[in-house]
Amino acid sequence: MVFLRQLLAFTLSSFLLTWLLCLAVEANYSSSKIGQGYRLISIEETPDGAVVGILQVKEKNNIYGVDIPLLSFYVKHETESRLRVHITDAKKQRWEVPYNLLPREQPPPLKLNIKRLKKNSLSVSEYSSSELVFSYTSDPFSFAVKRKSNGDTLFDSNYSNESDSFRPLVFKDQYLEISTKLPKNASLYGLGENTQPNGMKLHPNDPYTLYTTDISAINLNSDLYGSHPVYMDLRNYGGKPYAHGVLLLNSNGMDVFYKGNSLTYKIIGGILDFYFFAGPTPLNVVDQYTSFIGRPAPMPYWAFGFHQCRWGYHNLSVIEDVVENYKKAKIPLDVIWNDDDHMDGHKDFTVNPVNYPLPKLLNFLDRIHSIGMKYIVINDPGIAVNTKYGVYQRGMANDVFIKYEGEPFMAMVWPGAVYFPDFLNPKTVSWWADEIRRFHELVPIDGLWIDMNEVSNFCTGKCTIPKERFCPLQGEKLPNSTCCLDCTNITSTRWDDPPYKINASGNEIPIGYKTIATSAVHYNGVLEYDAHSLFGFSEAIATHKALSELQGKRPFVLSRSTYVGSGKYAAHWTGDNKGTWEDLRYTISTILNFGIFGMPMVGADICGFYPSFYPTLRYPISTEELCNRWIEVGAFYPFSRDHSSVISPRQELYQWESVAESARNALGMRYKLLPYFYTINYEAHISGAPIARPLFFSFPNYIECYGLSTQFLLGSSLMISPVLEPGKTEVKALFPPGTWYSLFDLTQVIVSKDGNYVTLDAPLHVVNVHLYQNTILPMQQGGMVSKDARMTPFSLIVTFPAGANEGEAKGNLFLDDDEMPEMKVGNGYSTYIDFHASVKEGTVKIWSQVQEGKFVLDKGLVIDTINVLGLNYGSGTLVSIEIDGEPSIGVSYVKVSTSEHKYLFKQGDEEKKTVMVGIKGLNIPVGKRFALTWKMGS
């Protein structure tokens, strides 16, 4: 008994001691012992108007490594709306995102002489442009960025007392920490890529880890394929909205902790390189951001058609049947894709001679190319280690692979043992272009899909090819991602086992797990530790360059892994999702986030990549209803593709008649809207404006839509309100203030004076799409292939506020030769048109202004129909009409119709009779200026 008492006392005392030690450690961390910050010891202004200074650490410690004693900081207003704050080691060059990958200004080299430091030679502590004001405090050093127009603090790293939920600036070799205070009314968006179950608005205390990782999109709140350390902050003061953006340009792994009233970065390397974008509208922020990181790539017209893909099209006859079955079902299809089924032994740039015999494949491609369809194949970065494989031979001869201990780093993916190209090496970029050229000469592909470029590796550590067994495993019915190389863990270096563990894969998995060892080396001695998240970005640049050089055509590249600036070179899809209703809902948030990231050409696997019971191999009972609803959303994704896994049941849209009907309906509308999609693609290219947008982009003063992630806009005026739950035949949709017209039935109207939720009918084959007031929407008649659809007659839909005595509307249209690499007005291969309309005292005017009209005039395209919505009924008759000043009412080929609007919801003014007036048979050349006028009267 005494022994038990002694044991209990010892246990309790040990527990108490351990608990006290834990408290002490926690107190040590929370009371800022990890870092007492820095003090400013020198500051001055440079001849070009920048500010440079020196910071000295206040007190060193060894938690997460030793503090860097002296830091330099550089502050410059690079434009009137962009401010840069750059902080790094004052004595030693540190890793930064390479300036050749992401071109930008370089800070001047610091010529440090401690004995000659100028003590606070700058007399003021504020430094301003027209809108952004930078200020600092000296001890402990902190900085703030304010908006000049209203005095609002946008970023504030000042640690003022122990009650603050963050610490002063910490800067060690492998651990950097900085925080900012935030007001309660700030709505934040960004910090991706991750699947956010709470919607696109950042949710306090959710984890945000940035480190490119091959874990599927079904993992919530985890670091996924891309790294985008940028956020948009939207605030509203008294009904007036203000948005700004913050980018931390750093490619190292990081955790970002958002607590609602503060945001803290914890980064495992590199530097602090902040860029602040003044806004003040969400569109301004994205414009300023993409002006810096690179404008989104122009997409070819056909890319906005529908795409079909599956991992598991095991032979050519299968994809031939798929194309034929889409045709029989009368479902539009522009692009057929191959996953690695076409390859010989999963090797890049090869064709399987048995399942995809080259003569038959080329014959198939001739047939689909003749009708305007396209063909795209996958390409994984791992190059098979095979001495009989030409791609490997030439890669070895050119020394293009990432190295470990002086030899190419060995990993494993589908073909077995592989080496990874080092796209930071100029020789690799040239070798890659040559391999793409060789393959294109063999198979005339129309684009490339670069996958698994996080980088994905089935093994971990240092690996060798086993001598006593075959790798990859043979005889498996399904592809197997089990590591079959002989591997040993690599944990001996501080790069493979850093002192601070980011929340990798959602549970602090080692950062070299199932990827390239972080102590591996790139060109010029660059560590994988620093460059890891840039692999997909650098591969996209090399691939875009290679495709551009092939025939001088506009390239199409789809990349899974992305980084800041990837949108300049590639489109993106949201990765390996699952056939569930939750996954359907999550796709909207991810797609909207990528618009903010400067990657507007984005979509998700329609109907889900994995079956709903993944990771088991039990098949779901039926995904029919889900596929119905998914294509009704996916038809309006910027990038619209059905894609499924080899372990999933077949889910092409013709597999169920009900889904085929929904597809004909939704994709039928998409193909009519192709000129609109293409025009907002042009807007994205010249201004960064997302194709798919959150509602707050068009209604930033309407706070109720700040957290909305179940509806979205295409462009500024077209709203999609999908069904996202099973068994529903109606949807509750938010309508911001104004008049909205149903695109599928132009006579149906919703008038939401102050903004309202409205319950809409949504039977199985119906998706609700609404067009906002004051808009002119160009459409065509659709077709089975975009090549044919774009040659059909145009119609214009003109929307005025319902019943308004006076109103204006506008829209635009961009058309060009989409094979041309550049997308711009003035090259002789494009036409840009502004459409205008007004109504006043019963007179309606519609006119156009045309730039470079010859391109479209040579195509012979015409405007056949104009529908004008929301007009006062008056006496209900149209008494006169003129086109370019000439009366046309008596001309037999011009047909006029009047239809009364039906109000599904009306708030505010008394009920008025309003009508839609349709004029058909106009035959107005699209590239010619016109003016059409009519009067309503008795």
673 token code pair:
């809207």
Identify the three-state secondary structure at position 94: coil
Identify the three-state secondary structure at position 586: helix
CA distance 372 to 335: 9
Q: Which of 775, 859, 843, 842 is nearest to 812 (CA)?
A: 775
CA distance 191 to 782: 38
Active site residue 497: no
**CA-based angle 471:476:480, to the nearest 5?**
60
DSSP 65-90: SPBPSEEEEEEEEEETTEEEEEEEES
CA distance 872 to 696: 30
Backbone angles phi, psi at 173, to 5 degrees: -60, -40
Identify the three-state secondary structure at position 148: coil
584 Cβ neighbours under 8 A, 6+ residues apart: 608, 626, 629, 630, 633, 724
List the catalytic residue out of 214, 348, 539, 576.
576
116 Cβ neighbours under 8 A, 6+ residues apart: none
CA distance 824 to 633: 30
Distances (CA, A) of 494 to 61, 172, 269, 487, 517: 18, 13, 12, 20, 12
Listed as own residue / partner, the contacts of 53-61 with beta carbons closer than 8 Å and 24 or more positions apart are: 54/90, 54/112, 54/117, 55/87, 55/90, 55/141, 55/169, 57/171, 58/139, 58/140, 61/33, 61/34, 61/35
b (16+ CB within 10 A) / e for 321-340: ebbebbeebebbbbbbbbbb
**CA-based angle 272:275:277, to the nearest 5?**
160
Active site residue 576: yes
CA distance 338 to 934: 53
List the catalytic residue out of 233, 334, 454, 605.
454
CA distance 228 to 67: 27
Residues 836 and 766: beta-carbon distance below 8 Å: no
Expressed in percent and rounded to 5, the helix, strand and coil fractions of the chain are 20, 30, 45
- A 10 A CB-CB count for 477 gives 7
Q: Taking each helix axis from N to C terminus, what angle separates 674-687 and 657-672, rounded to the nearest 10 degrees?
A: 60
Active site residue 818: no
List the catalytic residue out of 214, 273, 340, 451.
451
CA distance 414 to 70: 48
b (16+ CB within 10 A) / e for 413-441: bbbbbbbbbbbbbeebbebbbebbeebbe
> What are the residue numbers of the active site?
451, 454, 576
